[in-house]
Amino acid sequence: MSKVIFVTGAGRGLGTDIAREALAAGHQVVATGRRPEEVEKTLGGPQDNLLVTKLDVTSIEDAEAAAQAAVDRFGRIDVLINNAGNFFAGYFEEIPPAQMRQQFETNLFGPMNVTRAVLPVLRKQRAGHVITLSSLAGIIGQEFCVAYAASKFGVEGWMESLRYDVEPYNIHTTVVEPGFFRTELLVDASTTWPEPTIDDYAERTTATITAWKSINGQQPGDPAKLAQALLAITDQDKPLQRFVAGADAIEAVEAKAKELLAQANASRELGDNLAYDDTHA
């Protein structure tokens, strides 16, 4: 059945694949981006089932205007896919506070802005689905990813808790943890590479940037297949609350789950007997 699917960051990378696959499947698509003219060009120009509108996810005003434009054009919104994001790489001490805040503004507060604008529509309908792209880095901390991982760990907590807020209104939530896919996350337009400023980190920074750049274009995951999988989730009677995407991600999350269990068990000796003792004088 045709749905109205609202996609952020549709001008390139995975967002473009999601919009294209949704259009090909017969859905009505609201494709958003900071430069709508580029979004429209990327998706092949005007189409009856396509609304292209400006949206910088860090702007609350943009989010509210885009949600209203979607309702004005199609009458409803069935699925919100929070895809827009970027990557500030580097070691913690070398990431300026302003860049750390920028990372959170885009990757965490950005999808919050858009979701806050869309939720009143979904609640009125008593139906809808919010899908937010997290990352394997939202489950597992990694070297050189401290800002990105912190923002995505925030996405995980927000989405996992949002579920309980909106379930009574027949609104589903799914948080997505992709592994390595051939998106455009590692291109210079999406990634901010650090300038070595501290001697202790300089050699590691240079080597790590080289290694990360060499991965671009070689990632094992196909973003078009990921887009198809996301659309399949929107058709599930009980959509997955968490979608671990890619064989590499599934293996890594399984290992993390075992590590967490081992750490919980290792904490028993010190952690099991910390209850307040009312008999204690």
Residue-wise pLDDT tens digits, 84-134: 999 899 999 999 999 999 999 999 999 999 999 999 999 999 999 999 999
Q: What is the mean pLDDT of residues 152-178?
A: 98
Mean pLDDT over the full length of the chain: 93
What is the arrangement of strands in the sheet containing 28-33, beginning at the earlier edge strand? 50-54, 28-33, 4-7, 79-82, 128-133, 171-178, 242-245
- CATH code at 20? 3.40.50.720
Give a yes or no: residue 218 inside a domain: yes
Give a yes or no: residue 274 inside a domain: no
If one counts the domains in the chain, the total is: 1
Q: Which member of 91, 135, 148, 201 is catalytic?
A: 148
Tell me if residue 41 is catalytic.
no
Tell me if residue 148 is catalytic.
yes
Give a yes or no: residue 240 inside a domain: yes
Share of the chain above pLDDT 90, in %: 81
Q: Which member of 134, 135, 151, 201 is catalytic?
A: 134
Split at pLDDT 50, 70, 90, the class of 185 is low
Q: Which domain holds residue 96?
A: 4-269
Position 281 pLDDT exceeds 60: no
Tell me, what's the pLDDT at 1? 85
Torsion of CA 136, 140, 146, 147, to 10 degrees: 40
Give a yes or no: residue 279 inside a domain: no
Tell me, what's the pLDDT at 218? 64
Give a yes or no: residue 16 inside a domain: yes
Q: Which member of 3, 135, 151, 152 is catalytic?
A: 152
Share of the chain above pLDDT 70, in %: 95
Tell me if residue 161 is catalytic.
no
Give a yes or no: residue 277 inside a domain: no
Give a yes or no: residue 275 inside a domain: no
The angle formed by the CA atoms of residues 63, 59 and 118, to the nearest 5 degrees, is: 20
pLDDT tens digit string along 68-89? 999 999 999 999 999 999 989 9
Tell me, what's the pLDDT at 22? 98
CB distance 69 to 110 below 8 Å: no
Interatomic CA distance for residues 69 and 210, integer angstroms: 43
The angle formed by the CA atoms of residues 186, 103 and 89, to the nearest 5 degrees, is: 40
Helix %, strand %, coil % of the chain (to 5): 50, 15, 30
Give a yes or no: residue 12 inside a domain: yes
